[in-house]
A and B are shown apart, each in its own frame.
Chain A
């Protein structure tokens, strides 16, 4: 795969803080894609990575133009471009679907974010989410709410739209050893239940218990 990319190896990654090889970039894309797909909530925004992938795709397309028509290499590289584009599209689609599904909560989270904390929405996603909210509110007002009694003309979106279910179960594979992960807190009936997670072990757990480990990269959702 890195053939097509190494034809123009200097492209795309120059000027980045930590230069990644194209293979590493695609690896990161696939990890982000799987995490986003299986996580019940919207994960941190990785738009820089997305932009790098777009750049790589453009480079690959350009290289492909230079290959002699009918050369077998061209089909293989074409497939590779298609695969990468599929993963990127699927990643962005997952995010967009979650943004639409949880739009008031996503916006609230971003608005109450402290400066310096990682953002969950790219500027473009933020604009999209705001437009989605405005569009939906305008629609509901125009069709029904404005015809209702005065005290019922608004709907609290934060209450009306369900929040992501952080207690849903997810499959994960451990990348960095973790100790004392709290699975069940201590209650009157039971002692607290903690586990140690060994590298390369796979588990099925409540998302809530391991959410911070997903964002730190210590576990990979599968």
Chain B
């Protein structure tokens, strides 16, 4: 039956809940595009036949194929757009550098879209006033306390805080740091907030 592959790729994406990004189904897309090409060519020849030989009984088939073409287009664009939404969420979750295992799941054009998106976002944030603008990807939660206890989960090297002190973030070291400085590192999995 037509459009089955198109539904399959959507189902596969839908199965991965929680905003996870599965590998780009290049093969699936290719198959749908090939089906579209075949349907279109069959329609072309049928339209010519219907016109030149007046075979109006071909018209329902032509209409049916056209519906399948529209459905395939809609499924493919829905699949791609949903992936874009997940990729957009990654910028807000992980920051501007994506972990390599996620990058492997993206096709070249998606990486390009991501780069353009983060550029747009950066330009926008810089324009928000002040000297450097406002990084609105920070401060995701209302502030509860000024300083928080954090444990370092991996070696991250030196880290400077506002009053100039430099902290060495070594694996398993614990620190009492300003909350606003740690947010992004906590999201990236470098630091862990210790709640007593």
Interface residues of A (CB under 8 A from B): 50-51, 54-55, 57-58, 69, 75, 78-79, 82-83, 85-86, 88-90, 92-93, 96, 100, 124-125, 127-128, 131-132, 135-136, 138-140, 142-145, 147-149, 152, 155, 160
Q: Are A148 and B73 in touch, CB under 8 angstroms?
A: yes
CB distance from A58 to the nearest CB of B (A): 6
Contact among A85, A125, A142, A143 with B29 in the assembled complex (CB-CB below 8 Å):
A143
* Contact status B113-A89, CB under 8 Å: no
Indicate if the CB atoms of B70 and A54 lie closer than 8 Å. no
A158 vs chain B, min Cβ distance (A): 14
Least CB distance, B57 to chain A, in whole angstroms: 23
- CB pair B117–A135 under 8 Å, yes or no, is yes
Task: Give the distance to chain A from B77, nearest Cβ to Cβ, in Å.
Answer: 6
The interface residues of chain B, by DSSP majority, are classed as: helix
Binds A, one of B93-101, B134-142, B185-193: B134-142
Size of chain B's interface in residues, with CB distance under 8 A? 42
Residue of A at shortest CB range from B32? A144
Task: Tell me the minimal C-beta distance from A113 to chain B in angstroms.
Answer: 20
Q: Enumerate chain A residues within 8 angstroms of B128, measured Cβ to Cβ.
A: 50, 54, 92, 124
With A and B bound together, what is the CA distance between A93 and B134 in angstroms?
11
* A139-B110, A144-B80, A160-B77 as given contacts; A85 in contact with B124, CB under 8 Å: no
Jot down 27 A-B pairs with beta carbons below 8 A, ordered by A. A50-B129, A51-B129, A54-B129, A58-B130, A69-B163, A78-B146, A82-B143, A82-B179, A85-B134, A89-B138, A92-B134, A92-B136, A125-B124, A128-B121, A131-B116, A135-B117, A139-B84, A139-B109, A143-B107, A143-B110, A144-B33, A144-B76, A144-B77, A149-B69, A152-B70, A155-B77, A160-B81
Give B contacts to A, CB under 8 Å: 29, 33, 36-37, 40, 69-70, 73, 76-77, 80-81, 84, 88, 107, 109-110, 112-113, 116-117, 120-121, 123-124, 127-130, 134-136, 138-143, 146, 163, 179-180
CB B66 to nearest CB in A, in angstroms, measures: 9
| Residues of chain A lying within 8 A (CB to CB) of residue B179 | 82
Tell me the complex Cα distance, A132–B113, Å.
9
Decide yes or no: A89 and B109 within 8 Å by CB, A54-B129, A135-B116 being known contacts. Answer: no
10 smallest CB-CB distances across A and B, nearest first, come from A54-B129, A149-B40, A82-B143, A131-B120, A124-B127, A89-B136, A89-B139, A139-B113, A135-B116, A86-B139
